[in-house]
Amino acid sequence: MGKKISVIGAGSWGTALASVLSDNGHQVTIWSVDRAEVEMLNRDHEQKIKLPGVVLPDTARATDDLEEAVRGADLLVFAVPSPYVRETARKAAPYIADGQVIVNVAKGIEQSTLMTLVEVIGQEIPKANVCVLSGPSHAEEVGRRLPTTVVAGCADPEIAGMVQDVFMNGVFRVYSNDDVIGIELGGALKNVIALAAGIADGYGYGDNTRAALMTRGIAELCRLGVAMGGKIETFLGLSGIGDLIVTCSSRHSRNRRAGVLIGQGKSVSEAMEEVQQVVEGVYSARAALALARKYHVDIPIIDQVNAVLFDGKPVGEAVSDLLLRDRKAERD
């Protein structure tokens, strides 16, 4: 029996997940704050701007009425960009029922509070059961029904199992994991490493450099994530190294693409404008650095990314400083 599900956010990822949920026989409503976007989705059944070529079934519908989208839904999928999660959760809170399940699919850390997005939603809507869905999953490929594997994170195994059942099908496999903080940190911090990989590519460095950044980047994720209570196995799984690999190497990655543009000499604002979508790693970079200082963790790659992004440090100088640090053992 299909469920009544509302996807809050009509960007590329929200639309791709709406197509997965519709394939699975659920009654799907997509909410957008943009009336023109709603009209396009209802008229064309396609997100022509952000996810062209992915056609939604006639059964899926869109609305700009948040109360209509939220009330009575069996499950809510929060797919708004990380900077807008708190505001959206606050507006939705009056319409949420006790125990209503919310699945956060955005990736990021709130810069002002250093909270993960599940924590942000939980603070604004304490009556809800908030979970996370994450992993190596570009919307462009999910929308084309290419095989994809993700992980659902929830402290309650029954809710995690329900989320698995709702999303899983023959091309979209869902694992479960109770390490919510680890899953969220992996999804947020890998975007900063993807910026580093893109910057190196744009500057003209090669495969060796990218492999070094990815490998030592996952070491930084593990150090900070474990210090914050995550499990190292999570960072070596889908939401850690899996998401890191795809985000650092894929042509679909907006974080890598922004990094390439910065490596080629464009400013952060110019790169973000050209990408035309929210580049989550730019927002997460400062938060990651603040968290590392709070937990006394060494994260040299993320440190240098911040210096390039916000202090105008030349890319060549940043890479040189990484390579010329005091010698260390590979394992702590």
Active site residue ranges: 190
CA gap 86, 111 in Å, rounded: 12
Residue 9 contacts by C-beta under 8 Å, 6 or more apart in sequence?
30, 31, 32, 77, 78, 79, 80, 81, 88, 106
Q: Measure Cα distances from 131 to 8, 104, 106, 248 in Å.
A: 14, 6, 11, 25
Structure tokens at 297: 């963790």
| 3-state class (DSSP) for residue 318 | helix
Residue 207 contacts by C-beta under 8 Å, 6 or more apart in sequence?
none
Burial of 161 (0-12, 13-18, 19+ CB in 10 A): middle
**Phi, psi (degrees; rounded to nearest 5) at 169:** -150, -165
